[in-house]
Amino acid sequence: MSDPTADWLRSDAKDFGPTSGLFVFTVELGQAISEQLKVLLETKHLYQKVSISPEKLVAAFKQRVEPASLRPFEKLTHELLASVSFTPADQQLFLLERDGIKMPLLTLSLSGLKLFCSECNAREVANPIWYIELKNELLKLYRLGEHRTPPPSGFQMFLLSYQCQRCRGTPQAFLVRRHGWQLILEGRSPIEHIEVPAFIPKQEERFLRDAVLAFNSGKTLAALFYLRTFIEQFARRQTGLTGRVPGDEIMEAYNKILPPENRGQMPSLKEWYERLSVVIHSAEEPPDLFEQARMEIERHFDFRRILHIG
């Protein structure tokens, strides 16, 4: 005898009844949020977020429900969405009903991610090895009388740990908040690795990494300061100037030691130092300035490589 739950999952028909429709919709809703979690952890930065629209998913799925079942299906999905809570797991979870039918739980499915591994010094596949959800743990304490108030509706906090499958080295961990239908990256250990081009000078590259990290975390003014620090410290080393020498004098001295025939071919660090100083002193954060400045400053160092400027 075939398992109806397996048949529903394999079905691509458009004639679901209320129960079978709720079954498949629950699985697909979990898959939608799980796909966004993967996007968040692989491509987003601290304090950035991803989201889904359950209303759009319901509207699209209703096209696959038989007309006579639409009203009870809408009632069931409304109840599901009103009390939504995702359970993290490395596979779809099910709850066995009294009639023997397995109904899916809303599952935040954790899969392998492509993450930078500091021990392999490359992006490698990392698999989930441990995870926990804070709201569920707080509810346990509340029911035991050890916590005074239950956690608020719509709130969940996930602590997710992954391990590189190449070296099996030190695990990485992420702290993800669910607020309604948003997932927000609120913490990670170790901190995000920032890759910079090979032609960036090693002695000062930490300032560029900090600039990008600050920008990725939404701290644009700090990012602009680190970017200016990066080019100023490089110019100090190139010119040999030390002590309390004004930055504009350092950048002027650096400009003079560049080969005269090449100065006009490459973006000017002196000009970018001045532009960054203006917005830093006025505490401004012009849109797109950081990305433009970073691109032009990196081009300057790429020109140094191409032109063999030591």
**pLDDT average, residue stretch 73-95:** 92
Percentage with pLDDT > 70 across the chain? 95
**pLDDT average, residue stretch 155-161:** 96
* pTM for the predicted model, two decimal places: 0.85
- Assess whether pLDDT exceeds 60 at residue 58: yes
Give the whole-angstrom CA distance, residue 178 versus residue 196.
32
Give the whole-angstrom CA distance, residue 235 versus residue 253.
8
**What are the strands of the beta sheet with 49-51, ordered from one edge?**
49-51, 182-189, 172-179, 155-164, 122-133, 113-117
SS3 174: strand
Tell me: the pLDDT tens digits for 292-307?
999 999 999 999 999 9
Distant-in-sequence, close-in-space partners of 39: CB < 8 Å, separation ≥ 6: 50
Distant-in-sequence, close-in-space partners of 236: CB < 8 Å, separation ≥ 6: 242, 245, 250
Half-sphere exposure of 250 (CA within 13 A, CB side): 22
pLDDT at 101: 77
- Assess whether pLDDT exceeds 50 at residue 2: no
Q: Which helix (H) or strand (E) holds 248?
A: helix 247-257
CB-CB contact of 162 with 129 (8 Å): yes
pLDDT at 5: 56
Nearest to 298 by CA among 169, 173, 200: 200
CB-CB contact of 158 with 140 (8 Å): no
pLDDT at 1: 40
Distance between the two ends of the chain, CA-based, in angstroms?
76
